[in-house]
């Protein structure tokens, strides 16, 4: 069911490790051509393109792309008490953790009369994407909206695919959670087309372009975000999910297998990877996976994920080698289930979010930990971070010098500008003292 890679007895270089990493055949690069066509169609035809894409890709044509306020109110009124309690607690926890991510303004006195203020300015308008293909993600509404609100974003637009089961409307639970959070600008549109609509705007809808697109999605959403970067900002390429578990002989094979399956049920392209120095654990997890894959409700999807080129059980000589493999992989979710996970944690550089010990499964982070579950996938964690309040903030330096402070560095500026053959720079300073 799941391939096994044996790296014992080898010490691969970083480049060799990158070449060894299991990845899906259908990646962001492969999906880019399709995503580009969908975005181009939206730019050219606007609303008509979004309606046609919904009919073709979501198998339903919505009555309206902009969700009426009445639909949001009805969805909120119909939200089950149990789900509302769970969502409200998740909101509280994510808000607490997000508030810790907002840096204070700092003023530094460089010299007498020379002041630099570091401020963090919120982006004014953002587009938040909430997927709704193989599953429905009201939790992703919380993970997108709460940090944006904490950061001080004043204009929030949200998009989620129209649902065939609900007559082309956005899933009511998603609408209800958006209503709980006070979001009223919601669109029934999905996939790459929705990302394109956010980036370029749709005037006939009253949809103004956004400055930042955030949120998870499938490989085509991730490809679309890569394509619009430069026109608008993006958080990261949060495509098909992945989990990597570092475990030793102390780990419970049932818990390791259950956590791998919990992410494999998202998507056939989801990656589930175990890295261990214990052959016995590898064998036991393999056996557990075989049972869980046929008994879990989404067994066909899980089996496809575990059987794919992106999933593997990797054998290494020791846990230091496991950490090196993980750093090369750059997992979205990293679990460390070892005798002393803090030892391996010290070796970790690249990960979207890290879950320590047997009582911190990824599912906890997906819903109720207080951490954010919108994380970089496909190795993007090697250079990107997860979504947080900081995603919606831009650092800006405010420079304020007095006349005497400027005079104190005027000669230095003239010397440096002459050395770079940019004399007008120095002249702009000396003109103030002519």
Which residues participate in catalysis according to the annotation?
332-333
Residue 171, annotated as binding a ligand: no
Residues 6+ apart with CB under 8 A from 20: 5, 7, 12, 328
Residue 53, annotated as binding a ligand: no
131 and 216 Cβ atoms separated by less than 8 Å: yes
Residues 6+ apart with CB under 8 A from 208: 125, 201
Question: What is the gyration radius of the CA atoms in the chain, in angstroms?
Answer: 25
> Distance between CA atoms of 251 and 339, rounded to whole angstroms?
8
351 and 381 Cβ atoms separated by less than 8 Å: yes
312 and 22 Cβ atoms separated by less than 8 Å: yes
C-alpha distances out from residue 336 to 191, 247, 264, 285, 359, Å: 33, 6, 18, 15, 11
Residue 333, annotated as binding a ligand: yes
Residue 349, annotated as binding a ligand: no
209 and 198 Cβ atoms separated by less than 8 Å: yes
Residue 241, annotated as binding a ligand: yes
280 and 249 Cβ atoms separated by less than 8 Å: yes
Residues 6+ apart with CB under 8 A from 398: 116, 117, 118, 119
C-alpha distances out from residue 361 to 165, 255, 263, 336, Å: 31, 9, 11, 10
Q: Which residue has the tokens 């993970």?
A: 143
The Cβ of residue 99 has, within 10 Å, a number of other Cβ atoms equal to: 13
Residue 266, annotated as binding a ligand: yes
> Distance between CA atoms of 109 and 30, rounded to whole angstroms?
51
19 alpha carbon, distance to own chain's centre: 24
Residue 421, annotated as binding a ligand: no
> Distance between CA atoms of 125 and 71, rounded to whole angstroms?
23
Residues 6+ apart with CB under 8 A from 362: 243, 259, 262, 263, 333, 335, 353, 355
Tell me the HSE value of 215 on the side-chain side, using a 13 A CA sphere. Answer: 35
Number of continuous H segments (helices) and E segments (strands) in the chain: 17, 14
> Distance between CA atoms of 189 and 195, rounded to whole angstroms?
9
List the binding residues: 241, 263, 266, 333, 366, 420, 425
List the binding residues for Zn(2+): 263, 266, 366, 425
């Amino acid at each position: 069911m799941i391939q096994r890679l044996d790296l014992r007895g080898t010490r691969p270089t970083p480049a060799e490790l990158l070449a060894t990493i299991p990845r899906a055949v259908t990646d962001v690069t492969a999906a880019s051509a399709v995503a580009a066509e969908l975005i181009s169609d939206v730019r050219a035809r606007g609303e008509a393109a979004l309606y046609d894409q919904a009919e073709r890709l979501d198998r339903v044509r919505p009555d309206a792309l902009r969700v009426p306020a009445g639909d949001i109110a009805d969805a909120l009124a119909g939200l089950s008490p149990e789900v509302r309690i769970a969502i409200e607690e998740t909101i509280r926890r994510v808000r607490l953790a997000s508030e810790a991510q907002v840096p204070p303004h700092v003023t530094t006195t460089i010299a007498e009369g020379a002041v630099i203020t570091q401020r963090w300015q919120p982006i004014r308008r953002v587009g938040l994407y909430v997927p709704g293909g193989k599953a429905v993600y009201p939790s992703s509404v919380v993970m997108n909206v709460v940090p944006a609100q904490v950061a001080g974003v004043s204009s929030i637009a949200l998009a989620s695919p129209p649902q065939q089961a609900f007559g082309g409307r956005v899933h009511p639970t998603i609408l209800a959670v958006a209503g709980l959070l006070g979001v009223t600008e919601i669109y029934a549109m999905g996939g790459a087309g929705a990302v394109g609509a956010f980036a370029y705007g749709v005037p006939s809808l009253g949809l103004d372009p956004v400055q930042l697109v955030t949120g998870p999605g499938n490989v085509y959403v991730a490809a679309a975000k890569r394509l619009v970067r430069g026109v608008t900002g993006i958080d990261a390429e949060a495509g098909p999910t992945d989990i990597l578990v570092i475990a030793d002989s102390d780990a419970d094979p049932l818990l390791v297998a259950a956590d791998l399956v919990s992410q494999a049920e998202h998507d056939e392209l989801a990656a589930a990877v175990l890295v261990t120095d214990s052959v016995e654990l590898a064998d036991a997890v393999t056996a557990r996976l075989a049972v869980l894959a046929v008994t879990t409700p989404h067994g066909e999807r899980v089996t496809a994920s575990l059987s794919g080129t992106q999933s593997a059980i990797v054998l290494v000589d020791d846990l230091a080698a496991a950490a090196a493999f993980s750093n090369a992989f750059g997992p979205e979710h990293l679990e460390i289930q070892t005798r002393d996970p803090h030892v391996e944690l010290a070796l970790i550089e690249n990960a979207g979010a890290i879950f320590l010990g047997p009582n911190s499964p990824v599912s906890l982070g997906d819903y109720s930990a207080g951490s954010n579950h919108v994380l970089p996938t496909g190795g993007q964690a090697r250079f990107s971070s997860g979504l947080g309040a900081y995603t919606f903030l831009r650092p800006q330096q405010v420079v304020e010098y007095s006349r005497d402070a400027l005079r104190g560095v005027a000669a230095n500026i003239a010397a440096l500008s002459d050395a770079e053959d940019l004399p007008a720079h120095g002249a702009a300073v000396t003109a103030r003292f002519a």
